[in-house]
Amino acid sequence: MTPGRGAQASLWIALLTGCTTVYEGRYDFRDGWRTAEVVEVGTAGNLTRKPTGDCLQGASARPADLRFAVVRYRGPRRAAFRVVPVPEDRDIKPGDLVYVKVTDCNAPLPPRTAAPTPS
């Protein structure tokens, strides 16, 4: 193999593995997990940012005091926001770094222990 081909093969391997991000060995990008930052916390009735297509749909069937978090993550082209329920056992506040599963409104909102850049 020529030196140029080896470098080219290494580049392809790097590009392909870059598309299969697994955060902290548990949260796979392909499964819908994204790095996010909490920007607001409150009940369904008092959130100021209410994106469409979020997890507030059906909020009237949930307890009125259920807390939601507005999280910002990197969408395909720009920052995206999603409203997700806050687990009862979590104390979440704006500025907290979390993982959000954008494909599942019932997924937990685990804290980020590492600090990768939002994807």
User: Considering the chain, what is the average pLDDT of its residues?
Assistant: 79
24-70: pLDDT as tens digits: 888 999 999 999 999 999 988 888 876 655 787 665 566 777 899 99
pLDDT of residue 118: 52
Question: Which structural domains are found in the chain, ordered by start?
Answer: 24-114 (2.40.50)
Q: Are 109 and 84 in contact (CB under 8 A)?
A: yes
Look up the pTM and report it: 0.72
Measured CA to CA, the distance from residue 37 to residue 70 in angstroms comes to 8
Output the pLDDT for position 60.
58
pLDDT by residue (tens digit) across 4-14? 666 665 545 54
